[in-house]
Amino acid sequence: MLDQYAFEPGFSGTQQALALAGARQLGYEFYVSNAILADVSGSGSLNVSAGILNTGVAPFYYDWPIQLAALNSSNELVKVWTTPWKLSSLPPGTNAVWADTVANPGLPAGQYKLLLGVENPMTNGVPLRFADVPQDADVKGWLTLGQLSVFSAPPILSGSLLASGFSLNVGGAAAGTWAIEVTSNLLTWSVLLTTNTSATQWNLTDGILEPLRFYRVVSQP
């Protein structure tokens, strides 16, 4: 049972908040509890997994298409993929894990946000919304899962010993924010440099010389 008047012409203020809270208790309520996104290297696959909760009191009976989309740094949707996931597999109280692999996603090198959406197949239909805060944060109708990088090839980190220190050279990096990290035990890493650059090749010199000192280059959100 739903009081249509509560939404059209609609309440406001406290009455609207109470009406929305009551409506949520009448049906399904989907949350994405976590998402794991792996960076893509070269022509490799895009691997995604997400924890899905239905904290409502009813299932969603229709298997509307569930889609993933890539949003580039210019806030443009550049790719959309339809997943095999089914909303009908999420009865009340479900705590499930969805996983999918997109072979050859066809994304140019760069940094992207990955979005999750459920398309309403009806003409001018409103898409299903998740109850998470990042819903509609970047694109209306889509839930932002997180950020990933696509590399034309893995960045190459090389070095050479100089009188002034150890020279580090990074090559083949996609445009974006990168960090060079350093460790002496391969367990605890600290940031030596963070840079936001469009250059694919850059370098720095570490003035600290120690017998055991290891380096790595990692992408940053």
Boundary of a domain, candidates 133, 151, 169 = 151
CATH number of the domain within which 192 lies = 2.60.40
Pair 127, 51 in one domain: yes
Pair 172, 72 in one domain: no
Domain that holds residue 205: 156-219
Residue 120 lies inside a defined structural domain of this protein: yes
The structure's pTM equals: 0.63
| pLDDT per residue as tens digits for the range 41-55 | 877 899 999 999 999
Pair 63, 140 in one domain: yes
Pair 178, 191 in one domain: yes
C-alpha span between 165 and 154 (Å, rounded): 25
Pair 131, 194 in one domain: no
Residue 112 lies inside a defined structural domain of this protein: yes
Boundary of a domain, candidates 151, 172, 187 = 151
Number of domains in the chain: 2
C-alpha span between 50 and 94 (Å, rounded): 13
Pair 203, 137 in one domain: no
Residue 12 lies inside a defined structural domain of this protein: no
Residue 138 lies inside a defined structural domain of this protein: yes
| pLDDT per residue as tens digits for the range 49-105 | 999 999 998 999 999 999 999 999 999 999 999 999 999 999 999 999 999 999 989
CB count within 10 Å of CB 130 equals 19
Pair 73, 49 in one domain: yes
Tell me what pLDDT residue 9 has: 61
Pair 132, 106 in one domain: yes
Residue 17 lies inside a defined structural domain of this protein: no
Pair 139, 171 in one domain: no
Residue 165 lies inside a defined structural domain of this protein: yes
Confidence band for 1, pLDDT divided at 50, 70 and 90: very low
Pair 38, 129 in one domain: yes
Q: How far is CA 101 from CA 40, 91, 221, in A?
A: 11, 24, 22
Write phi, then psi, for 87 (nearest 5 degrees): -65, -30
Residue 78 lies inside a defined structural domain of this protein: yes
Pair 179, 142 in one domain: no
More confidently predicted of 26 and 173: 173
| pLDDT per residue as tens digits for the range 100-148 | 999 989 998 889 999 999 999 999 888 999 999 999 999 999 999 999 9
Boundary of a domain, candidates 151, 168, 203 = 151
State the Cα angle at 135 between 32 and 50, rounded to 5°. 20
C-alpha span between 110 and 135 (Å, rounded): 23
Pair 105, 200 in one domain: no
* 3-class DSSP assignment, residue 6: helix
Residue 11 lies inside a defined structural domain of this protein: no
CATH number of the domain within which 35 lies = 2.60.40.10
